[in-house]
Structure 1
Amino acid sequence: MSNPVCPETGATMYRDARPFTLTYKGESITFEMPGWYCDRSEESIHTGEDLKVSDRMLNRLKASCEGLLPPEEIRRIRKKLNLTQEAAGVVIGGGPRAFQKYEKGDLLPSRAVCNALILLDRDPEALSVLKVPRKAA
């Protein structure tokens, strides 16, 4: 993409990362937001990839406020259990692609998934209970 022109000033915009703050339930997080920025105004343009950064940071903030596990903790526990992302999604919940999204920060895990992971982190042997095929009643 060639450098866009600022809609307000007509100046050429440049790629940069600038501090950006998000607030959720009274808590805030500040991070470097990538995008195209104008040096003569407050205008900015963000691509889909740029917006993924803010979406992931918002999910991280929400997880913190709601007492849910952050992506790196989900990954640590899954690896401790020797599960692939697909297997974790099937056995623990969320579906075959869920853990890929949880670990990237693209999707917040449910409270139930977080609770199951916390319990399995304390007692990894309990995973065998979840893997046992259940017979229909």
Structure 2
Amino acid sequence: MATASTRLPETMVSPETGETLFRDIRPVRISYGEDSIVVDLPGYYPRYGNDGVHVGDDMRTADKALEILKKRAAERQSGPTPS
């Protein structure tokens, strides 16, 4: 059975400022320990600035990046893998 995808509205009102936010994708740096990755993060953003609101699956990309960074940090702590 196929699942229906939810189409999000193009704009929303910021719950903090009342400003109109627009659906967009912005580069965001995800950091963990001494490492970081820049990901394209979907969300609702103000026309100027980067304080976004993320809904639904928006954080999936950031979650995956954090998982990768944690794995790298764990591999560094455990030392090189024997060949």
Q: TM-score range by the shorter chain?
A: 0.5 to 0.7
The answer on 1:11 being equivalent to 2:19 is yes
**Regions of 4+ moved over 6 Å:** none
Q: Which has the higher strand share?
A: 2
Residues 1:30 and 2:38 aligned together: yes
- TM superposition shift of 1:25: 1.6
How far apart are residue 33 of structure 1 and its match?
0.9
In structure 1, the residue matched to 2:51 is 43
Q: Which residue of 2 aligns with 1:123?
A: none
- Higher Cα radius of gyration: 1
**Alignment map for 1:42-121 (pairs within 5 Å):** 42-67=50-75
Write 1 or 2 for the structure with the bigger share of helix. Answer: 1
2:68 maps to a residue whose letter is R
Return the alpha-carbon distance in structure 2 between the equivalents of residues 26 and 40 of structure 1: 29
User: TM-score, normalization: structure 1?
Assistant: 0.43
Q: CA deviation at 1:41?
A: 4.2
| Bigger relative contact order, structure 1 or 2 (CA pairs below 8 A, ≥6 apart) | 2
Cα distance in structure 2, aligned partners of 1:48 and 1:67: 31
Aligned length: 69
Question: Is the 1:5–1:11 contact (alpha carbons within 8 Å) kept by the matching residues of 2?
Answer: yes
Is residue 11–residue 40 contact of structure 1 (8 Å, CA) maintained in 2? no
The answer as to whether partners of 1:13 and 1:39 remain within 8 angstroms in 2 is yes
Identity %: 29
Superposition RMSD in Å: 2.4
**Structure 2: where are the runs of 5+ without partners?**
1-7
